[in-house]
Amino acid sequence: MELRVTQGRLFRFSQETISRGFRELAELQESIDDGREVSKPSDDPVRAARAMRLRLQIQRNEQYIENVGRGIDLLQASTDSLQEVSDRLSEVRSTALAAASGTQVEESRRAFASEIDQALERLFTIANTRYDETPVFGGTATQQNPFTAERDAEGRITSVSYRGNRAVAPILVGPDERLIPTVSGAEAFNDPDGQFANLFDTLVQLRDDIDDVDGIANEDLGDAIRATLPALDRIEGSVLSAVGRLGARLGETESLRDNLRSFDTFSRTALSDTEDLDTVEAVLQLQQRQTSLQTAAAVAGQILNTNLLNFFI
């Protein structure tokens, strides 16, 4: 059948062409305004799913970065505390050596004993250090101070016991990565060979020996002190090794944080590649579509104005 060209057909065709042109323009405008090429799943289901995965990845990674930050603070706090413990222990050692060398009289012995007692008190305070209201060296038993002291009538520490545990709560810093941000008090302050229950008992022993003017004669004091020194050395070694381990972990954790940060940048770039619009291309496309719409409108205007009425009558 020969196709008759009717007015209805011409109008409809022009109308469809022009409204399709406008629709395409509107879609493009929407994308440009939004800045995203994939703003809903139906735009491209596979890319939308990838965008969702990347968003989740970014969201999680941000949390890991925050967790690592907290881990680093905690590691720093533990390391600083243990470093101070180590410094104090060196002082105690010099005090003990000074007390052991030469001949002491009662007065000087009391002074040495008091010096050691002060160090003991300071170390006790450090052992109960809190970071953000939580004891640092108590393991997971954080409901109370990890170390408690028995005191005599004069208020001097006679023994210290550990109420914490050996479990340190690991911080989640990656899908399968955990950071142990400190050491337990049991690990840090104990005599590894176990001659004394812990650091504090060793110091109590040392202080009491020096102070015990009646029990230990001045000339026997050196031997008594030297008997305690190996324990002191072992504990100092244990503290130093903890400082070393925490320091190394601190270094690793800082580089982990850098990794997480660059992963963040990487994920954001990937997300942008996945769902964002190439603006330059979009603007070019906009111009192209505008041109074709204008052409369609011009053609429609020409054709719809052409009919026999212009020539007849």
Partner 1 sequence: MIGLNTGYLALRAAQQALDIIGNNVANVATDGYRRQAPSLASAPSLRLNGFTFGTGVTLADIRRNHDVLLDTRLRSQLSEQSQLQAGLDLAEEAEFILGEPSDTGLAARLGAFQDALSALTASPSDPALQADIVESGGTLARQFQRLARDLDRLDGNRLGRLENTVEEINSMGETLQDLNRDIANARSSGGVPADLIDRRDILLRDLSELVDLDVRIAEDQTAEVQVGNVLLVGRGEASRLAVFRNEAGQERLRVAGRDGEGFVPTGGEALGLMATGREPVDRLRAKIDELARGLIDAVNRVHGTGVGSSGSFTRLTSSYQVTDPGAPLVSGGLIGNLEPGAFTVSVTSEGTGEKTRTQIRFDPTRQSLSDLANQLDALDNISADVNADNGLTISSDSGFTFDFTAESGIPRDTTGVVGALGLNAFFTGTDARSIAVSAELQADPGRVAASATGDTGGNDNLTDLIAALDSGSELLGGLDLQDFYRREVTEIGFQVSQLQALGDSQSTLVSALEARQESLTGVSLEEELIELERYQTSFEAASRYLQVINQTTDQILSLGL
Residues that bind partner 1 (CB under 8 A): 1, 3-9, 12-13, 16, 38, 40-46, 48-49, 51-53, 55-56, 59-60, 62-64, 66-67, 70-71, 74, 132-135, 138-143, 165, 167, 169-172, 175, 178, 181, 275, 307-309, 312
At closest approach, how far in Å is the CB of 33 from partner 1? 16
CB atoms within 10 A of CB 98: 14
Task: State which residue, 107 or 132, has the beta carbon closest to partner 1.
Answer: 132
Task: State which residue, 225 or 246, has the beta carbon closest to partner 1.
Answer: 246
Task: State which residue, 168 or 203, has the beta carbon closest to partner 1.
Answer: 168
CA–CA dist 22, 104 (Å, integer): 103
At closest approach, how far in Å is the CB of 140 from partner 1? 4
Task: State which residue, 82 or 164, has the beta carbon closest to partner 1.
Answer: 164
Q: Which of 178, 205, 200 is nearest to 188 (CA)?
A: 200
At closest approach, how far in Å is the CB of 261 from partner 1? 17
In this structure, the chain runs to a length of 313
Residue type, 291: T
At closest approach, how far in Å is the CB of 211 from partner 1? 35
Q: Which of 260, 243, 98, 88 is nearest to 171 (CA)?
A: 260
CA–CA dist 122, 100 (Å, integer): 23
Q: Which of 145, 234, 229, 142 is nearest to 188 (CA)?
A: 234
Q: Which of 11, 29, 21, 28 is nearest to 296 (CA)?
A: 21
At closest approach, how far in Å is the CB of 137 from partner 1? 11
Task: State which residue, 95 or 184, has the beta carbon closest to partner 1.
Answer: 184
| Six token digits for residue 139 | 């393991």
Judge contact between 183 and 129, C-beta under 8 A.
no
At closest approach, how far in Å is the CB of 304 from partner 1? 11
Task: State which residue, 8 or 155, has the beta carbon closest to partner 1.
Answer: 8
Distances (CA, A) of 92 to 9, 37, 48, 120, 121: 104, 69, 65, 9, 12
Q: Which of 76, 119, 87, 99 is nearest to 253 (CA)?
A: 76
Task: State which residue, 66 or 106, has the beta carbon closest to partner 1.
Answer: 66
At closest approach, how far in Å is the CB of 128 from partner 1? 14
CA–CA dist 297, 57 (Å, integer): 48
